[in-house]
Structure 1
């Protein structure tokens, strides 16, 4: 059961990372498009800034899951390794529990926010702003899976080297 969960997390985090990378490429391309239309052609695009900002928000929230999986988030590793093993493990669990709580609240509040803003449109576009706010609950769901898997791997003494990302644990 745990092995199946870790495999699922590897797949979902890999998908989130790939989507984050694609959205970051969209962000960079649209930012360049915006600069060219504004300063070269003196005819600024009305929609590219909104889409660039929205893609960046989605990219960040999807990318956090991969960062958490690889231990790239701000952490307390120095303190954890300096402590005796039982205290270090307790700190590890406390940090993961706090992160889990934060992203669980963010998922819930993001879901509620999507409902509140569903009838509002993005500036210069006829698209609901809820699509942008949806990055909070969707990204948080990916992050919660990554936190649970990182906790399980940490308690088992396992680590995920970068070259095995997306592979089955």
Structure 2
């Protein structure tokens, strides 16, 4: 359904500015990204919205990326009471205690190296896949990792935006 308009997209296009800002903040914690998306409304199709998201993500500064990352909990520790992070990190839900402990150690090592949480589009990924990704990515240079994070955030934003405009709020 991403190539056409949806009732949810029409609703998003007509939300009051403050409501749209709040909805976009739930998608991505970067104020710059949210402002860009908001300023380009109305969107004729879901694909146009997703393309705008990709373009806005590409324009984010390092500080804007940091702000966006700050809205994401560490892998294996979704925010209590947050159904979005729990759903996205479902692959860790059934992980063994050993895998959870390994992810905690890897998360801490990653955060020490790069100064922020390990961020990955976890939707559909297993705990083992996430573990393997952090093991690989911890070897990246800071510049490589910043661009990898930008790509992963873009994927997360696309999933969250699609859910936002395809959910039936009636």
| Common fold: TM-score over 0.5 | no
When normalised by structure 2's length, the TM-score is 0.28
Larger Rg: 1 or 2?
A: 1
TM-score calculated relative to the size of structure 1: 0.28
Using CA pairs below 8 Å that are at least 6 residues apart, which structure has the higher relative contact order? 1
